[in-house]
Structures are given as structure tokens and as C-alpha cells.
Amino acid sequence: MAPLFCHYFDRIDRLTRAFSIDVAAYAVMSNHYHLVLYVDVARADKWSARQVLLQYTKVFDAEPLVKKYLSSQKRRLLSEAEIHYVEAKAEEYRKRLYSISWFMKSINEPLARLANAEDHCKGRFWEGRFKAQALLDEQALLTCMAYVDLNPLRAGIAKTPETSDYTSI
């Protein structure tokens, strides 16, 4: 399981560099994980269309027109309609880059494929679909972060928060 945890953390790092979502706390268990996320819509809204496309292509493959748009030499070869299409795509991608659903999909799908290839099987790797709960004040945020960091202790995996592996503490 340890190599898969490395892929998990690499994936989270890659996603937080691309998405306008930050991880405030986490705990990875053998059959599920917890994340406390901060969605920064204002940050994504400040990105230019070009920056959105650059952020998006840190994780996802770019369409040929997007590649042309991002290439300074080839961009001048795009028609006005093609530029309009790419800039409309950028707005679609902007919304994805602050979507918790897209963030979770971008964690789970590649890791499930990797785990399934290792185990020669199909299907979900983690238990069920993710659940999300909005944390509306500082007290709720701190309570949730403590819950996440203490999860391995409640599960009997660690004796103290400091000795728990795969947590944000």
C-alpha cells in the first residue's frame, strides 16, 4: 500500500498546484481518506484565459486548438472563431479548476486505475463516492480539521497524533 500512498500525495501536490483549491487538512486510511479543502473562487476569477489554460494543462491534456493558443508562434495562425472557441473553453475550465467534484475525480480516477492495474481488477479503489460538507465558520473548520487529524487514533492505527502516518498533523 505504501507506494500507492506516494502516488496519492504526488497527485494531491500536482492538483493543488493546478486547481484553485487548497488542502487544509488530510488523513489517508487504508480504505478511505479525508480532506478539508478551501475553494478559492476569487483566485480563479483573477486568472486570465491564458493562465486558466496553463493551469488546466498541468493536469489534463490540451486540445489541439488550446495548444496552438498557448504557443506564441502558432497563436497568430488561429482564426477569430478559433480564438473565441478556446476562450470559451477557458471559462469552462476555470469552473472545473474550483470544482470539488473535478478535484476529487482528478484524485480518485488515476489512483483507482493504478491500484486496479496492480491488483488485476476493475472498479472503485476507495469506498463509495465522496461526501462534502460546507464549513461555514472558523469553529466548524477547526473541529473538522481536528476530526480528520485524529481519525487514525480513533481507528487504532496510531497511538498519538504525532505518530500517525499520512495525516496533515
Task: Please give the model's pTM, rounded to 2 decimal places.
Answer: 0.86
Please tell me whether residues 111 and 35 are part of one structural domain: yes
Rounded average pLDDT over 154-159: 89
* Average model confidence (pLDDT) across the chain: 89
> Which residues pair with residue 37 across a beta bridge?
23
Q: What are the strands, taking DSSP E only, across 29-94?
A: 33-39
Rounded average pLDDT over 110-139: 80
**Integer CA distances (angstroms), 105 to 67, 73, 74, 100, 139, in order:** 23, 34, 32, 8, 28
pLDDT (tens digit per residue) in 85-97 = 999 999 999 999 9
Please tell me whether residues 35 and 49 are part of one structural domain: no
**In Å, how far from its chain's centre is CA 109?**
11
Q: What band does 5 get if pLDDT is binned at 50, 70 and 90?
A: low
Domain of 135: which CATH number? Answer: 3.30.70.1290
DSSP secondary structure letter of residue 167: B
Please tell me whether residues 128 and 152 are part of one structural domain: yes
Please tell me whether residues 103 and 155 are part of one structural domain: yes
Q: Reduce the DSSP state of residue 20 to 3 states and report it.
A: coil
Q: What band does 3 get if pLDDT is binned at 50, 70 and 90?
A: low
Residue 1 confidence (pLDDT): 47
Please tell me whether residues 35 and 66 are part of one structural domain: no
Q: Is the pLDDT of residue 118 over 70?
A: yes
Helices vs. strands in the chain: H and E counts, helices first: 8, 2
Distance between CA atoms of residues 70 and 14, nearest Å: 20
Distance between CA atoms of residues 92 and 69, nearest Å: 16
Q: What band does 29 get if pLDDT is binned at 50, 70 and 90?
A: confident
Q: How many domains does the chain have?
A: 2
